[in-house]
Structure 1
Amino acid sequence: MIAVVCALLAAASNAAASVLQRRAARDEPRHRALSPVLIWDLIHRPAWLAGVGALIAGFVLQAVALSAGQLALVQPLLVTELPFTMILIALASRSGLDARAWLATGLLTAGLATFLATAAPRGKGAVVTPAAQVPAAIVTVAVVAALVVAARLLAAAPRAAVLGAAAGIGFAFTATFIKQTTSLFQRDASALVTSWQPYAMVATGLCSFVLLQNALQSGTLLAAQPALTISDPVASVLYGITIFGEEIRTGGWIALEAAGVGLILYGSILLAQGLAKRERDGHTGS
């Protein structure tokens, strides 16, 4: 229960971060995408700094959730960030949510419930050796690097989607180090200084953060958010299985799990469309 509650609170914090950071990044010139100048400019925007604060709060809550539950359970719950984002925008604009937004939220929630109920992730995982994580690290770096190269060749909306997917994978990989770091802290806090996991967590987290800022700057939330929302839990399930030895149901359950993922994706797209419309209509508080 603690893992579920903290994961949902982390999703709400991440939603606040997305709204604030998108509000700051949307005014940046397109040519600054994938440029160090982008981050330097954003540092001087109060809305962006407030978003960073919300992101840090989400990180702490996520760490608590991962210390109490499986990677394959906690990370999928973070897809609730999207309906939380919609709710926050509706509250800020005092315009309420329309029927389409409620439908999309229902579909996403139903998909999430279906996936978690049928996958039934189990096994808490543990601190792993570097050798156990090397194959996943090689594949992750290769995939993210390929996505970044591809993004450079694309226009605004496709670029935002590709960078959103890269950021989602990066955050999922960061979560593997968060889980190991919290496990180390529970065993012996003094060991954190000499362990490699906290430093890997910081490095991958910062890289993922930069990718997210570029995704939000490159295009609308409609383009970036669904890719980010889906890639994180899907990658996390794979990391949970390959790195920590977590298990999910297979066989005939896979069809239901795929149906759940499909509902999550469709609901995410509908919500992102609503977010984009509100953004065009000026209801994001910017």
Structure 2
Amino acid sequence: MIAVALAVLAAASNALASVLQRRAARTAPPGQAFRLGLIAYLMHRPAWLGGIAALIGGFAFQAAALMFGGLSLVQPILVVELPLTMVFIGRVFRVRLDHRSWLAVGVLTAGLAMLLLGARPSEGHQIPGRAMWAVATLVTLGLVALLLTAARLATGAGRAAILGVAAGLGFSFTAALMKQAVREVQHPATLLTTWTVYAMILAGLVSLFLLQNAFQSGSLVAVQPALTVADPVASIGYGVGLFGETIRLGAWSVLEIFAIGLIVYGSTLLAQSPPFRRHKVMAAGT
């Protein structure tokens, strides 16, 4: 239960970070896309700095959650980031959620509950070696490269969604490194001597860069569902493949696939709800 509570706090922090970062990123000049100048521009925006502070809080809660639970448990709970993001939008931009929005929240929440019930993830005790990390890194880099190629060929909401998936995959890989780091760092003095800490920071920065470009390419309602769904799905793969975590398969797979479908449907329905279509118009003018 401690891992679940900490994961929910991490999701809330990430949701707040998304709203604040997007508000700042949408004001960036189009010519800054895929340039480091985008980060330099955003560093002068108070809303973006507030979003970074919330994001750091989210990482701290996530690291603490991973100390008490596995990737396959903690990361799927982060799906609640999406409805929490929409609630924050409602509060910040004074957008009232309609019945369709609440229905979408209910569908997404039911999907998450079904996924956890069906998979019943349990923490593994496998310690991945350097060879396993090398394979995981190469696979991740290959998938991100394919997504970036697809993003360059797409425009508008399509590009934003693809970059959202890439960012979600990156954050999932960052979480896997974080899981390894909290195992290895037994004392603050060992923090600077553990390779996974540096790899985690690098992966997190690259993922953050991808996320900023996703926000700059399209609206939050295009980015957030892709980001929120890609992260936990990929994390289950990392948890099983790297750490030996187990999930129920067999007949339970039917329920799990149905649950993922509900999460995708609920995310899409929420992103298309009228209040957030209006938010998209308002945000475009900020």
TM exceeding 0.5: yes
The 5-angstrom pairing of residues 36-75 of structure 1 reads 36-75=36-75
- 1:171-191 CA-to-partner distances (Å, cap 9, x unmatched) read 000001111111123x34433
Q: Is the Cα–Cα contact under 8 Å of residues 10 and 78 in structure 1 kept in the other structure?
A: yes
Query: SS of the residue aligned with 2:27?
Result: coil
- The residue identity in structure 2 corresponding to 1:226 is P
Q: 1:277 maps to what in 2? A: 277
- The residue identity in structure 2 corresponding to 1:237 is I
Q: Provide the C-alpha distance between the structure 2 equivalents of 1:125 and 1:20, rounded to a whole number of angstroms.
A: 38
Query: SS of the residue aligned with 1:282?
Result: helix
The 5-angstrom pairing of residues 9-28 of structure 1 reads 9-28=9-28
The 5-angstrom pairing of residues 167-178 of structure 1 reads 167-178=167-178
- 1:147-171 CA-to-partner distances (Å, cap 9, x unmatched) read 1122112112111111100000000
- The residue identity in structure 1 corresponding to 2:212 is Q
Q: Provide the C-alpha distance between the structure 1 equivalents of 2:94 and 2:215, rounded to a whole number of angstroms.
A: 24
Offset at 1:37?
Answer: 1.4
- 1:89-119 CA-to-partner distances (Å, cap 9, x unmatched) read 1122344321011100000000000000000
User: Percent identity between the aligned chains?
Assistant: 54
Offset at 1:120?
Answer: 0.4
Q: 1:258 maps to what in 2? A: 257
Q: Provide the C-alpha distance between the structure 1 equivalents of 2:284 and 2:53, rounded to a whole number of angstroms.
A: 19
Offset at 1:279?
Answer: 1.7
- The residue identity in structure 2 corresponding to 1:223 is A
- The residue identity in structure 2 corresponding to 1:61 is F
The 5-angstrom pairing of residues 1-286 of structure 1 reads 1-125=1-125, 127-185=127-185, 187-274=186-273, 276-282=276-282
Q: Provide the C-alpha distance between the structure 1 equivalents of 2:213 and 2:250, rounded to a whole number of angstroms.
A: 39
Q: Is the Cα–Cα contact under 8 Å of residues 159 and 219 in structure 1 kept in the other structure?
A: yes
Offset at 1:219?
Answer: 0.4
Q: Provide the C-alpha distance between the structure 1 equivalents of 2:244 and 2:262, rounded to a whole number of angstroms.
A: 27
Q: Provide the C-alpha distance between the structure 1 equivalents of 2:126 and 2:61, rounded to a whole number of angstroms.
A: 19
Q: Provide the C-alpha distance between the structure 2 equivalents of 1:157 and 1:233, rounded to a whole number of angstroms.
A: 22
Offset at 1:35?
Answer: 1.4
Answer with 26-35 or 156-165: which moved more: 26-35
Q: Provide the C-alpha distance between the structure 1 equivalents of 2:51 and 2:177, rounded to a whole number of angstroms.
A: 23
Answer with 116-125 or 12-21: which moved more: 116-125
Q: Is the Cα–Cα contact under 8 Å of residues 104 and 268 in structure 1 kept in the other structure?
A: yes
Offset at 1:280?
Answer: 3.1
Q: Provide the C-alpha distance between the structure 1 equivalents of 2:51 and 2:285, rounded to a whole number of angstroms.
A: 14
Instruction: List runs of 5+ in structure 1 lacking aligned partners.
Output: none
Q: Is the Cα–Cα contact under 8 Å of residues 26 and 283 in structure 2 kept in the other structure?
A: no
Q: Provide the C-alpha distance between the structure 1 equivalents of 2:49 and 2:202, rounded to a whole number of angstroms.
A: 20
Q: Provide the C-alpha distance between the structure 1 equivalents of 2:33 and 2:108, rounded to a whole number of angstroms.
A: 30
Q: Is the Cα–Cα contact under 8 Å of residues 93 and 283 in structure 1 kept in the other structure?
A: no
**Residues 284 and 115 (structure 1), Cα distance of their counterparts in 2 relative to 1, 3 Å cut:** farther
Query: SS of the residue aligned with 1:35?
Result: coil
Q: Is the Cα–Cα contact under 8 Å of residues 219 and 280 in structure 2 kept in the other structure?
A: no
**Residues 283 and 211 (structure 1), Cα distance of their counterparts in 2 relative to 1, 3 Å cut:** closer
Q: Provide the C-alpha distance between the structure 1 equivalents of 2:280 and 2:214, rounded to a whole number of angstroms.
A: 18
- 1:37-60 CA-to-partner distances (Å, cap 9, x unmatched) read 111111110100100000000000
Q: TM-score, normalised by structure 2?
A: 0.95
